[in-house]
Amino acid sequence: MEKYLYIALFAPIVGSLFAAMFGDRPKNLITGLVTSGLLFASWFASIMLLLYVDGNTIVHVKMMDWIAAGSLNVDFGFVVDQVSVIMMVTVTTVSALVHVYSIGYMDHDKGFNRYFSYLSAFVFSMMILVMSDNFLGLFIGWEGVGLCSWLLIGHWYHKPDVPTSVNPAISPAYAANEAFVMNRIADLGMLIGIFMIYWNLGSLEYNTVFANIGTLSTGTITAIGIFLFIGAMGKSAQFPLHTWLANAMEGPTPVSALIHAATMVTAGVYLIIRSNEIYALIPNVGYFIACLGAFVAVFAASMALVNMELKRIIAYSTLSQLGYMFVAAGLGAYWIALFHLMTHAFFKSVLFLGAGNVMHAMDDEKMINKMGGLGKVMPWTMGIMTVASVALAGIWPLAGFFSKDKILETAFAEHNYFLWIMLWMGAGMTAYYSFRLIMMVFSGKENYDKAEKHPHETYPFVIMAMLPLAVLAVIAGFFEHSFMEYVTAVLPEYHPHVSTFTFIFLVIVTLGIALGGIFLAVTKFSNAGSFDGFFKKLGVFDILSNQYYIPKFYDEKICKPYKAMSKFAWEKIDMKIVDATVDFIAGTIYTAGDKTRKMQSGNLSTNLKWMVFGLVILLVFALFKIGM
């Protein structure tokens, strides 16, 4: 089965290199077709590995020696076990369909070839991240997805910077740099955690680390767990390192669907799941992770309640759902966190793709208050986005119901009732903002100039690329029990223990608030109505629409002082001290050389004078030595 492992891993990078050969040339459809075909090859290989791996069988290969320096020995090794293969199938399923979708979405883009090169390179990096058998290999993939995310967010780098009043993200280039810098801050924490693992255990391979982690002191394990989680906070955009994700919507919409919904942003959750044997020893850190996740679930959902920008609403939804995943992982329900990661990838990615259809139909318009009535001309997109929104809201029998409700059940079973209340509130807000979006985009009157905009449904093959994800958003939840049995061969078994009555009660109240949120949105936003005035009366509309003024705080209290400090260091220290010292030394040497170059004039009489002068100096020195 090793050949399938190598096909799954290397097919995307072959496609990336192929597309890169056409990077500076006009659009060539063959780049989209080849990269998409190779992604389907990677998907097929992942499916074959999924069928092969069972409770007693995994695939573990050592491709080559990688680093051998003193006592540090790291192999370029990969493991396909029950956890990594689930991630592989999820990543390649979404990636292959996003590649096909992108052929239509990027049809008229000048950077068509370059885009597909970056997109396939991202998938390769993500596969390294999930398939590596050691922390250093995971970190290489971790940094690779960060680099590709930077390239793809900034794909339209030619767009100029504009004031935040016009575009909160300023520009694609600015948003790309923000994402890159904020993730580098978090990655420093992750690196420290990896260094501590090697320093204390002498290895970075998962099996060795997890077998010996219990020999360390609780304080050391706690420090390792905290530093690893800092890395996860950045990649999965958890508070306070969350602001980059909403601004990352400046990239092409398929990028948002693949990277910022289904794959890269879930890498932090995957890290916690993969390191479960570390976090099992430090339950206090796990509880902190769960508390932060519950806070983010409500915090991000609240910002989506009033936002008018199509993709930002879905981005805040992603932030919120990542919080749910961290609650499950923090409470030790690792398989439930992985289950929600998988189901969320399906319905959230297709929700983003539907948003891309809408923006294309509206000539790249992003504001939902300038849409309306699009259901009449885009029935397929409306149907798919409605299905995805129902799944996101957690309505039975769609996938979100099974995975999200399991997380709420876990919080209740662990007697963390405050966490349960926060998640329950988040479920209601999720249902409300999801259908607020649907109603404002697809129903009611047309809030656009029909003379200027002529919305229409997208290409049929683009709809066909979305349908499998919509189907998975419906049926994936029915595989809950087989999924649990499969992944608990690696992950700890976890069963929320509640009575039958309690279980029924939890289902009813959770479904009740979700259906209530949907009902409120549908009734208030029907016939050009609105509920946003309610938030204005409460005095929170501006706070929520401005992201609690956190980006402004970062800019005023961190970025501007740091810029001023950097300017002072440059002008007063670097230029006046460092550069001045270097210039003085260089000037002194230059002047001395200019003055003494006459010694080398080549004139015989001048050379004889210098010889006599040198002889006199030597004689004086000799006499001085004799006198001593």
pLDDT tens-digit readout, 515-550? 999 999 888 888 766 777 788 888 888 888 888 999
Average the pLDDT over 285-312 and give the result: 93
Cα distance between residue 106 and residue 465, in whole Å: 14
Q: Are 577 and 570 in contact (CB under 8 A)?
A: no
3-state SS, 233-264, equals HHHCCCCCCCHHHHHHHHCCHHHHHHHHHHCH
Integer Cα distance of 46 and 4 in angstroms = 7
604 compared with 198, residue with greater pLDDT? 198
Q: Are 69 and 15 in contact (CB under 8 A)?
A: no
Q: What is the mean pLDDT of residues 461-479?
A: 93
Pairing mode of beta strands 59-69, 72-80: antiparallel
Q: Residue 252 above 70 pLDDT?
A: yes
Q: Are residues 541 and 559 in the same domain?
A: no
Number of domains in the chain: 3
* pLDDT digits 0-9 by tens, 381-420: 999 999 999 999 999 899 999 999 999 999 999 999 999 9
- Mean pLDDT check: name the lowest of 35-44, 236-245, 307-316, 540-549: 540-549
- Is pLDDT above 80 for 450? no
Tell me the C-alpha distance between 19 and 117, whole Å.
5
> Helices marked H in 132-203 — which ranges?
135-153, 172-201
What's the CA gap between 573 and 592, in Å, rounded? Answer: 27
Residue 604 identity = L
Does the pLDDT of residue 225 top 90, yes or no?
yes
- What range defines the domain where residue 592 resides? 553-627
Tell me which residue has tokens 């349908």.
467
Q: What is the pLDDT of residue 4?
A: 92
Dist CA 360 CA 69 (whole Å)? 53
Is residue 495 in a domain? yes
> In this predicted structure, what is the pLDDT of residue 445?
81
Residue after which a domain boundary falls, among 133, 148, 172: 133
* Nearest Cα to Cα of residue 32 among 112, 152, 133: 112
- Judge whether residue 120 has pLDDT over 90: yes
Closest to 193 measured CA to CA, from 218, 219, 230: 230
If one counts every other C-beta atom within 10 angstroms of the C-beta of residue 561, the result is 10
- Point out the domain boundary residue: 100, 133, 166: 133
71 pLDDT higher than 80: no
Looking at the structure, tell me whether residues 440 and 565 fall in a common domain: no
* Same-domain pairing of 533 and 574: no
| Residue type for position 349 | S
Give the confidence band of 483 by pLDDT, cuts at 50, 70, 90.
very high
**Pick from 299, 297, 473, 495: nearest CA to 395:** 473
- From the number of C-beta atoms within 10 Å of its C-beta (0-12, 13-18, 19+), residue 120 rates as buried
**Same domain for 537 and 409?**
yes
Number of Cβ within 10 Å of residue 312's Cβ equals: 21
- Tell me, what's the pLDDT at 462? 92
Domain assignment present for residue 123? The answer is yes
| Same domain (yes/no): 129, 6 | yes
Residue 598 has pLDDT above 90, yes or no: no
pLDDT at residue 609 in the model: 81
DSSP 168: T
The average pLDDT across 25-46 equals 93
Q: Residue 112 above 70 pLDDT?
A: yes
Residue 468 and residue 377 share a domain: yes
Q: Taking all residues of the chain, what is their mean pLDDT, rounded to a whole number?
A: 90
**Is there a single domain that holds both residue 367 and residue 422?**
yes
Instruction: Single out the residue of 448, 442, 607 nearest to residue 526, CA to CA.
Output: 442
The verdict on residue 43 lying in a domain is yes
Assess if residue 85 is contained within a domain. yes
State whether 450 and 584 are in the same domain: no
The pLDDT assigned to 628 comes to: 67
What pLDDT band is residue 451 in, cutting at 50, 70 and 90?
A: low
* Domain end residue (candidates: 497, 519, 545): 545
- The answer as to whether 146 is a domain residue is no
The most distant pair of C-alpha atoms in the chain lies apart, rounded to whole Å, by: 114
Cis bond leading into 496, ω under 30°? no
Same domain, 521 and 559: no
- Count CB-CB contacts under 10 A for residue 25: 11
> pLDDT tens digit string along 234-246?
999 899 999 999 9
Model confidence pLDDT, tens digit, residues 492-502: 998 888 888 99
- The confidence score (pLDDT) of residue 164 equals 80
With respect to residue 42, please indicate whether it lies within any of the assigned structural domains: yes
Residues 6+ apart with CB under 8 A from 503: 409
For residue 85, pLDDT beyond 80: yes
* Beta carbons of 271 and 230 less than 8 angstroms apart: no
Least confident of 134-148, 279-293, 468-482, 540-554: 540-554
Q: Kindly state whether residues 473 and 508 are assigned to the same domain.
A: yes
Measured CA to CA in angstroms, residue 226 lies from 42, 280, 283 at distances of: 34, 13, 12
pLDDT of res. 529: 65
Sequence-ordered list of residues with C-beta below 8 angstroms from that of 257, at least 6 positions apart, any chain: 94, 98, 101, 348, 349, 350, 352, 353, 356
Question: Can you give the pLDDT at residue 285?
Answer: 94
Given the structure tokens 């883009």, which residue do they identify? 109
Residues 516 and 618 in one domain: no
Q: How confident is the model at residue 608 (pLDDT cuts 50, 70, 90)?
A: confident
Asked whether the predicted pLDDT for residue 596 surpasses 90, the reply is: no
422 and 471 fall within a common domain? yes
**What is the DSSP secondary structure assignment for residue 556, as one 8-state letter?**
I
Residue 103 is predicted with a pLDDT of: 93
- Return the minimum-mean-pLDDT range out of 38-42, 370-374, 581-585: 370-374
| Residue 534 domain-assigned (yes or no) | yes
Residues sharing a CB contact under 8 Å with residue 379, sequence separation 6 or more, in sequence order: 457
Per-residue pLDDT tens for 206-224? 999 999 999 999 999 999 9
Query: Does residue 165 lie in a domain region?
Result: no
